[in-house]
């Protein structure tokens, strides 16, 4: 399943033209943990609950690529981060490797398909990461890896600023235990499957699904969230950074991160036009006309998928968030920022098992909204299914992707949205709406080499990716 990742040099995407960007970083106060905020969380849910959630009229899901929670927030105060004394066996070079600070702007990561996840977790010991990454060396030393490296606040100050000022989810697990395609399928449908025919009932769950092709452009026959949104006249769009990737081109979103056109219900509903270039999202944000539900996915250079630059990915995300915060829609928006899979990087948290497809290894996740609690660390067990649940509760009256009720049954084994925690706990709809936090997309950083002006640089490499592009 190895596909070559081509990340070419190019100019930075002008996402925030005309925005007044502040160079200052917010003061970093002591984070509020779930334990210290349980009372306020419970009272908020009771007092405002289903009425409060409807203050959110726009949900924006931003999905980046290939980072474990510990690789970005393993040293965040109060979070379930890297434990003391960890040393992961190094079978090729001998001995073991301890977690270490890695300031490199471009990382390598490790394999991240289904077998890799099982090898990394290693029966709950969470000590197979180096062994899996060393597969590229054929068992011959020296075999350097960087999967035990992690970034710190000075490397990714914008991401830590969002955590300081809004909500950090420190038990967000990948919805499946595999690579990007099933992660992006579950992001919009709460399931990943292969289908024998266009009938939804022909589908069988798997975390290594076949992708859409020219010969079979709509292989995803099960029901996704857009079916329910369209049925209830709820506006939505799936936005592609630099548009869809054309064959033979490097810019644009590859098919594995752009599965929506492959769902049969999207074609049946005539909603293919809702897959839009990111430029449309930025124009709508500027005009204050965002749809109710937005998914935003990057092209490879902006994705943070190794070897893409961390600095460029952070700049891309910050510009998108700045655009929303500078919009008239900010006062009624919830932004959910996460990463699709762990990219082979070390994480210490054992993934819960909910069904045959997931959960997978833990990933970073942030909730950003005028109604998000400030500096709150949410310890609930979550997956991106929680984003679907929030959307369903906000716009669909609590309807679920449930074969018994959604009017388009498929053989999925469970209603995923009901299995994990509820991100409603991350909001306080009784508080005064929070003002925008406009950040510098290219802040001072300890990443090396020093990022190019505007953080628009890119690496030009032709490397073997472990599992996806």
Nearest-angstrom CA–CA distance, 52 and 173: 26
Give every residue of the chain whose pLDDT is below 70, as ranges. Answer: 1-50, 459-469
The pLDDT of residue 248 is 85
The pLDDT of residue 425 is 98
Query: Model pTM?
Result: 0.89
3-state secondary structure 168-237: EECCEECCCCCCHHHHHHHHHHCCCEEECCCCHHHEEECCCCCCCCCCCCCCECCCCHHHHHHHCCCCEE
Side-chain half-sphere exposure of 45, counting CA atoms within 13 A:
10
- Fold of the domain spanning 4-66+153-464: Alkaline Phosphatase, subunit A (3.40.720)
CB atoms within 10 A of CB 138: 8
Residue with token string 């919830």: 334
The pLDDT of residue 50 is 43
The pLDDT of residue 458 is 73
The pLDDT of residue 305 is 97
Contact 64, 300 (CB under 8 A): no
The pLDDT of residue 250 is 85
Extents of the domains making up the chain? 4-66+153-464
The pLDDT of residue 460 is 54
The pLDDT of residue 464 is 35
**What tokens were used for 330?**
């900010």
Side-chain half-sphere exposure of 270, counting CA atoms within 13 A:
0
């Amino acid at each position: 399943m190895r596909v070559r990742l081509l990340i070419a040099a190019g100019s930075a995407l002008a996402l925030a033209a005309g925005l007044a960007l502040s160079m200052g970083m917010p003061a970093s106060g002591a984070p509020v943990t779930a334990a210290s905020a349980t009372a306020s969380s419970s009272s908020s849910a009771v007092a405002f609950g289903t009425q409060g959630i409807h203050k959110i009229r726009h949900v924006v899901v931003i999905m980046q690529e290939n980072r474990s929670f510990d690789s970005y927030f393993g040293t965040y105060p109060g979070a379930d981060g890297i434990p003391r004394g960890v040393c992961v066996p190094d079978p090729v070079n001998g001995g073991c490797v301890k977690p270490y600070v890695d300031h490199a702007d471009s990382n390598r990561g490790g394999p991240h398909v289904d077998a890799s996840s099982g090898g990394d977790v290693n029966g709950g010991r969470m000590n197979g990461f180096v062994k899996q990454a060393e597969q590229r060396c054929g068992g011959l030393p020296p075999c350097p890896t960087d999967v035990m490296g992690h970034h710190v606040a000075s490397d990714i100050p914008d991401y830590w600023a969002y955590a300081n000022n809004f909500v950090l989810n420190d038990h967000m697990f990948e919805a499946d235990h595999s690579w990007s395609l099933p992660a992006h399928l579950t992001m919009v449908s709460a399931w990943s499957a292969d289908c024998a025919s266009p009938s939804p009932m022909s589908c069988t769950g798997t975390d290594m699904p076949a992708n859409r092709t020219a010969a079979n452009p709509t292989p995803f026959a099960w029901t996704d969230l857009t079916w329910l949104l369209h049925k209830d006249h709820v506006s939505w769009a799936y936005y592609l950074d630099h548009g869809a990737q054309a064959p033979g081109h490097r810019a644009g979103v590859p098919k594995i991160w752009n599965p929506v056109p492959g769902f049969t219900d999207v074609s049946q509903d005539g909603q293919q036009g809702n897959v839009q270039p990111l430029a449309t999202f930025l124009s709508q944000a500027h005009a204050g006309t965002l749809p109710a539900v937005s998914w935003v996915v990057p092209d490879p250079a902006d994705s943070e998928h190794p070897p893409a630059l961390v600095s460029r990915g952070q700049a891309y995300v910050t510009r998108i968030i700045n655009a929303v915060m500078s919009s008239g829609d900010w006062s009624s928006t919830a932004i959910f920022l996460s990463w699709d899979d762990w990219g082979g990087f070390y994480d210490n948290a054992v993934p819960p098992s909910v069904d045959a497809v997931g959960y997978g290894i833990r990933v970073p996740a942030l909730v950003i909204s005028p109604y998000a609690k400030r500096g709150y660390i949410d310890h609930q067990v979550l997956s991106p299914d929680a984003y679907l649940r929030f959307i369903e509760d906000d716009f669909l009256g609590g309807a679920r992707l449930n074969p018994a009720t959604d009017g388009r049954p498929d053989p999925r084994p469970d209603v995923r949205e009901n299995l994990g925690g509820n991100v409603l706990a991350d909001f306080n709809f009784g508080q005064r709406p929070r003002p925008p936090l406009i950040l510098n997309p290219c802040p001072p950083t300890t990443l090396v080499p020093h990022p190019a002006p505007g953080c628009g640089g890119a690496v030009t490499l032709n490397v073997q990716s472990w599992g996806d592009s």
